[in-house]
Amino acid sequence: MRLLIMKLILGGFLMVFETISSFLETLSTGSGLWNPLVWGVIAIIAFFIAYILRGFGRKDFKSEKEKAKVFLSGNPELKKEDMHLKSSNVYWGFLESLKWVYNVLEKMHTGNVSDYILWFVVIMGILFIIIGVI
Amino acid sequence: MLFNFPYIAVVLLILIGLATVIYKRNLIKIVIGITLIESGVNLFLITLAYRKDSIAPIFHGFTASKDNVPFMSLPVPHALTLTSIVIGVAVLALMLTFIIHLYRHYNTLDARKIGREEE
Amino acid sequence: MNISDIVFHSPALIVAIPLLGAFLTPLVAKINDKLRNIFAILIALITSVLVAILANDVFSNGIRTYVFGGGEPLVNNSYAIRILFEVDGMNAFMAIIASILTVVAIIYSWTFLKNHTGQDKYYTLILLMIAGMFGMILTGDMFNFFVFLEITSIASCALIAFYTNKGKAIDAGFKYIVISSIGALFILFAIGILYSQYNALNMAVLANSISFSFLDKIALALLISGLAMKAGIVPMHMWLPDAYGRAPSSVTLLLVGATQASLYGIFRITLSIFGKAFNTTGTVLKSATLTGDELIMVSSYPNVISIGWILIILAILTMIIGVLMALKQSNLKRLIAFAALAEIGYMLLGIGVRFASKYSEIVKMNNQEYIQIGFHGYDISALTGSIFHIINDALDIGLLFLVAGAIYIATKETSLNKLGGLARNMKYTTVFFIIGLIAVSGLPPMNGFASKLIIYESTFQLNPIIGIIAILASILLLAVFVKVLHSAFLGPKIPNLKDVKEVPKSMLFAMGIIACIIIIFGLFPNIVIDNIIQPAVNAITNHEAYIRGVFNGI
């Protein structure tokens, strides 16, 4: 009797495993495997583990104390509306360090239509040389 | 060599048209350059139809004999050229309408002064 | 009439119905405004149903040839004198993309343009542009392709200059028509060269009898550069941010479709028409010289590897310049236009990798040595990734442009410097923007990741630097759109944007359609690849089947 139940459970387990592995095989893209449903399941499990770990923290922390205030190197903190970073100033460091690239690019994008046709003739010449001669 | 003159004219027309579009600043001169390129391409299409000693492709009931059957020049490039001329007229009308609107907004026809992004 | 009659005539109906609708729209608009809106969406829905029926038939039964005027494609078994539409897997795939974009654009523009005048002419021009796009996609004749290309560019240039009260939009339209007409004239020149050599304008007849002589090389160079200028490849891309950024948002959605139809032209010409010339083998001849050595001569075959590498270099430049310029912009639509430019580079990368992965080896057959030319194994997967990326890019960039239009309707601001904290009032728009952000930068689980993963893995095998640059461009795209999310949606409430409301329902419905398709394509990419993409890839690389569509039985 117990043997029969164990066989049934084992058979059910094997069937589930069979369908899961055939399901996994079908979603292969490119030269590898990618299955977004498996990714989704693993992401949910990861969020769950992070939530459990968050519950191990201390429960008696109040966030209005002096320790949780914003520190701006001694500058006074303004109203929230004035502290919003304008979009031209985001990524300032990146744009400053690549100034030499952006100088060339800004000079290239002039805006008058004659320069567009000049680039077209240049590319046509390069394609003539490469396809025709080489 | 004599029969290559249309092809040389085609290349010269296209080169002069391209030079006008690239090096001139006035918008109307750019449009004239585009018309020159289009004339060159239409001339090229008509030149393709010519075969040596051919007549126009109109059937006039000559008796088909083995010799003395004159060539007919190809009728297909003439149809292509007509289509291309009509398309060229439509594009030209559209471009000139845009120039009228642009003059009303900017009061100048200099290609380097209109359409700046900073305004 | 039964279903098989409709399927038989559907290539002509798909072009004819929008054309008829376009010329009937001013008459219908005189009666009522709502009737005109319903008429436009009815025409778009009928065309989409016809496209679905035709695609279903082509994917299961093979190439379908439709001859205008009835009769057989060939006369006397040798001359193809009628214009014909030849629909194979790739054509059906592009038609599906165009029909989805059409339906969404018309639904979106019901309330986007509610208070503008000139809406009658707008709907007429949209239906005309759709007719031109479908004609360009379905045709099998070179001069017909040129005519439909001109129709599409004239109709779309008038739509770009829709805001005639500002000078910038008219200037963008003028630049677009100049660029477009010069590109089309050079394409016509190349068609003339090909006609003069082979006395045929039909694509299948040209593919059958092409040989890579010197004039053919000139024609190929002119065709590639003319079509690349229309598709927006660096350094001929500078009309793209102007035209995409200053047009109404629903028009930009259709412009993305028109740009991809020009890219389809490059695919068709290099892979199908010149396919025989690129696959030729040469014979190794042996002859004796005076000194008694054996001289090995090879009859010339085209150097496809250098063509592939120049396309790869252009694609890499497109990706890098598109992303770098996008980081600097502060105008929202211009920024998304530069991101669209970067995505076009991915599509060209696949076809460049296919040509550059050619190898040649000497094989011995029947006591005669031949040079055998083949492609490495990863070229088919690179093409699959690029063709899958065409539909993904159209959907993702389209969703982002629709969100930009929604922001413009709600706040009347175009510059990112003046926006902030919009997520409190416009909840649905924020959700759609986050979906578009995840999809465009290639993060799982959306559809951008599936196609970009295929492109990364296959281009990495040719040369690791190409794969690394592609991944880098994706990461910088993520940076660009996180900047937009922070500046426009997150943050505190700006005082003069206090009372923005959510956008009207029809715009949300249009954005919702695209978001649903993005999520479905992302969660089940294998269904999409097996049923839609793989037949397209098989059809475009099989130039023999394309020739046999016309020359059946010979």
* Domains of chain B, start order: 2-54+73-106 (1.10.287.3510)
The interaxial angle of helices C33-61 and C119-138, nearest 10 deg, is 10
Separation of alpha carbons C296 and B64, rounded Å:
52
Q: Say yes or no for a CB contact (<8 Å) between A117 and B25.
A: no
DSSP assignment letter at C496: G
CB-CB neighbors (< 8 A) of B44 in chain C:
189, 192
Q: Answer whether residue A47 is part of any domain.
A: no
Distance CA B81, CA B31 (A): 20
> What is the pLDDT at residue C516?
94
Q: Is residue A117 part of a domain?
A: yes
Do C195 and B48 lie within an 8 Å CB cutoff? yes
Distance from the Cα of C368 to chain A's closest Cα (Å) equals 28
Give, for C28, the enclosing helix (H) or strand (E). Answer: helix C3-31
Say whether pLDDT at C412 is over 60: yes
**Tens digit of each residue's pLDDT (9 = 90 or more) over C414-464:** 888 888 888 888 889 999 999 999 999 988 888 889 899 889 988 888 889
Chain A window 93-112: which residues touch B at a Cβ cutoff of 8 Å?
A: 110-112
Q: Two tokens at C306? A: 């250098």
Determine the Cα–Cα distance for residues A112 and B114; give it in Å rounded to an integer: 8
CB contact under 8 A, C167 and B115: yes
DSSP collapsed to 3 states, C128-159: HHHHHHHHHHHECEHHHHHHHHHHHHHHHHHH
**Inter-axis angle of helices B27-47 and B76-106, to 10 degrees?**
180
The B residues from 55 to 94 touching C (CB cutoff 8 Å) are 74, 76-77, 80, 83-84, 87, 90-91, 94
- Give pLDDT tens digits for C191-236: 999 998 888 888 988 888 888 788 888 999 999 999 999 999 988 8
Tokens of C464: 């690791």
On whether the CB atoms of residues C86 and C549 are closer than 8 A, the answer is yes
Q: How far apart are CA B41 and CA B87, in angstroms?
A: 13
Q: What is the DSSP string of C222-233?
A: HHHHHHHHHHT-
* Chain C residues within 8 A of B119 when measuring between CB atoms: 168
User: Quick check: C188 and B84 CB within 8 A?
Assistant: yes
Give the chain A residue nearest C222 (alpha carbons). A124
- Determine which helix (DSSP H) or strand (DSSP E) holds C297, and give its type and residue range: strand C294-298
| Helical residues (DSSP H) of B1-119, grouped into ranges | 5-23, 27-47, 76-106
Nearest to B80 among C143, C158, C185 (CB): C143
The percentage of chain A sitting over the pLDDT mark of 70, rounded to a whole number, equals 81
Residues of A in contact with B117 (CB under 8 A): 111
Indicate yes or no: CB of A113 within 8 angstroms of CB of B111.
yes
| Residue numbers in C near B14 (CB within 8 A) | 189
**Cis omega (within 30 of 0) for bond into C445:** yes
Distance from CA of B62 to the nearest CA of C (A): 23
**Chain A contact set for B18 (CB, 8 A):** 117, 121
The total number of structural domains in chain A stands at: 1
Contact residues, chain C, for B91 at CB < 8 Å: 150, 154, 177, 181
pLDDT score recorded for residue C231: 92
Q: How many Å apart are CA C97 and CA C59, to the nearest integer?
A: 15
What is the signed CA dihedral for B55, B57, B58, B63, rounded to 10 degrees?
70
| B51 in Cβ contact with B74 (< 8 Å) | yes
Q: Which among C419, C16, C295, C323 has a CA at the least distance from the CA of A81?
A: C419
pLDDT of residue B58 exceeding 80, the answer is: no
Residue C108 binned pLDDT confidence (cut-offs 50, 70, 90): very high
Map tokens 């069937």 to a residue: A15
Cα angle vertex A94, ends A91, A100, to 5°? 135
> What residue numbers bound the domain in which A111 lies?
102-134
User: How many residues does the structure list for chain C?
Assistant: 554
Taking the C-alpha atoms of residue C287 and residue C452, their distance in angstroms, rounded to an integer, is 50
pLDDT > 90 in chain B, percent = 53
Q: How many CB pairs under 8 A join A and C?
A: 146
* Cβ-Cβ contacts under 8 Å for C106 (sequence gap 6 or more): C40, C41, C44, C123, C126, C250
- Can you read off the two tokens belonging to residue A52? 């459990």
Instruction: State the angle between helix axes of C304-326 and C332-356 in degrees (0 to 180), rounded to the nearest 10.
Output: 160
What is the per-residue pLDDT for C302?
67
Mean pLDDT of all residues belonging to chain A? 80
**Among all residues of chain B, which has the CA nearest to that of C171?**
B115
d(C-alpha B28, C-alpha C177), whole Å:
14
Residue C371 confidence (pLDDT): 61
DSSP H or E segment with residue C365: strand C358-365
Contact (CB, 8 A) for C108 and C507: yes
Mutate to test the interface with C, among B15, B81, B94, B110 (most CBs of C within 10 A): B94
Backbone angles phi, psi at C51, to 5 degrees: -65, -40
Look at the block and give the residue holding tokens 């290639």: C442
List of chains touching B (3+ CB pairs within 8 A): A, C
Does residue A111 belong to any structural domain of this protein?
yes
How many Å separate Cα C486 from the centre of its chain? 31
> For residue B98, what pLDDT is reported?
93
**Interchain contact B24–A (C-beta under 8 A):** yes
Q: Judging by beta carbons within 10 Å of its beta carbon (0-12, 13-18, 19+), is residue C482 exposed, middle or buried?
A: middle
pLDDT tens readout for residues C241-281: 989 999 999 999 999 999 999 999 999 999 889 888 777 65
Tell me which chain C residue has its CA closest to the CA of residue B41.
C189
* A chain contacts of residue B15, beta-carbon cutoff 8 Å: none
| Total beta-carbon pairs less than 8 A apart between chain B and chain C | 79
**Of the candidates C147, C174, C199, which has its C-beta nearest B95's C-beta?**
C174
In a domain, A17, yes or no: no
β-pairing, C84-87 vs C282-288, is: unpaired
In a domain, A107, yes or no: yes
DSSP state, C268? I
Whole-number pLDDT of residue B62: 57
Q: Is B48 on the interface with C (CB under 8 A)?
A: yes
Q: If 0-12 CB within 10 Å is exposed, 13-18 middle and 19+ buried, where does residue A62 land?
A: exposed
Residue of A nearest to C381 (CA): A30
Query: d(Cα C114, Cα A102) in Å, to the nearest integer?
Result: 40
| Optimal mutation site among A106, A112, A115, A128, interface B, most CBs of chain B within 10 A | A112
The tens digit of pLDDT for each residue in A13-47 reads 777 776 666 666 556 666 677 888 888 899 999 99
CA of A132 vs chain C CAs: smallest distance (Å)? 6
Whole-number Å distance between alpha carbons of C145 and A15? 55
* Beta-carbon separation of B112 and A121 below 8 A: no
Whole-angstrom CA distances from B58 to A55, B54, C80 are: 93, 11, 21
**Chain C interface includes B21 (CB < 8 A):** yes
Instruction: Please report the DSSP string for A37-84 in residue order.
Output: HHHHHHHHHHHHHHHHHHTTS-S---TTSGGGS---TTPPP--TGGGP
Provide the mean pLDDT of chain C: 87
Of C185, C213, C187, the residue nearest C198 (C-alpha): C213
Are the C-beta atoms of residues C299 and C329 closer than 8 Å to each other? no
CB contact under 8 A, B41 and C177: no
Q: What are the structure tokens assigned to A110, written together?
A: 């002039």
pLDDT band at C291 (very low <50, low <70, confident <90, very high): very low
C483, C489, C492, C497: CA torsion to nearest 10: 120
Which pLDDT belongs to residue C288? 41
Q: Are C204 and C276 in contact (CB under 8 A)?
A: no
* pLDDT reported for residue C127: 95
ipTM above 0.95, yes or no: no
Band of residue C361 on the pLDDT scale cut at 50, 70, 90: low
3-state helix vs strand vs coil in chain A, percent to 5: 65, 0, 35
* Radius of gyration of chain B from its Cα atoms, rounded to whole angstroms: 21
Q: Which of C182, C189, C225, C498 to mutate to test the interface with A (most CBs of A within 10 A)?
A: C225
CB contact under 8 A, B77 and C188: no
CA distances from B20 to B104, B113, C161, C254 (A): 24, 18, 25, 32
Nearest chain C residue (CA) to A79: C492
Strand B54-55 to strand B71-72: parallel, antiparallel, or no bridges (unpaired)? parallel
* pLDDT at residue B112 greater than cutoff 70: yes
Amino acid at A36: P
Q: What confidence tier does C285 reach under pLDDT thresholds 50, 70, 90?
A: very low
Contact C74, C547 (CB under 8 A): no
Query: In this structure, is residue A9 part of a structural domain?
Result: no
Domain presence at residue A119: yes
Residues of A in contact with C313 (CB under 8 A): none
| B104, two tokens | 């009303």
Q: Cis omega before residue C235 (within 30°)?
A: yes
B21 contact residues in A (CB cutoff 8 A): 113-114, 117
Q: Which two tokens stand for residue C357?
A: 């992965």
- Residues of C with Cβ-Cβ distance to A132 under 8 angstroms: 214, 217-218, 221
Tokens coding A69: 């205030």
Tokens of A111: 């805006």
Which residues make beta-bridge pairs with C370?
Answer: C283, C363
Hey, what amino acid is at C377? G
DSSP of C337-359: HHHHHHHHHHHHHHHHHHHHTEE
What gap in Å lies between CA C161 and CA B71, rounded to an integer?
50
Cβ distance of C220 and A131 shorter than 8 Å = yes
Tell whether A35 is covered by a domain. no
| Residues with pLDDT less than 50, chain A | none
Q: What token pair was written down for C298?
A: 């090879």
Chain B residues touching C334 at Cβ < 8 A:
117
Of B45, B74, B98, the CB nearest to C161: B98
Which residues in chain C are closer than 8 Å to A123, comparing Cβ atoms?
225, 228, 235-236, 314
Q: Hey, which chains touch A, using 3+ CB pairs under 8 Å?
A: B, C
Neighboring chain C residues of B90 at a CB cutoff of 8 Å: 154
Instruction: Assess contact for C171 and A112: CB atoms under 8 A.
Output: no
Asked if C236's CB is within 8 angstroms of A116's CB, the reply is yes
Rounded alpha-carbon distances, angstroms, from residue C52 to C95, C103, C368, C473, C524: 9, 13, 50, 35, 20
What is the rounded distance in angstroms from the CA atom of residue C107 to the CA atom of residue C250? Answer: 9
Is C238 in Cβ contact with A123 (below 8 Å)?
no
Q: Which residues of C touch B (CB under 8 A)?
A: 143, 147, 150, 154, 157-158, 161, 164, 166-168, 170-175, 177-178, 181-182, 185, 188-189, 192, 195-196, 199, 201, 242, 331, 334
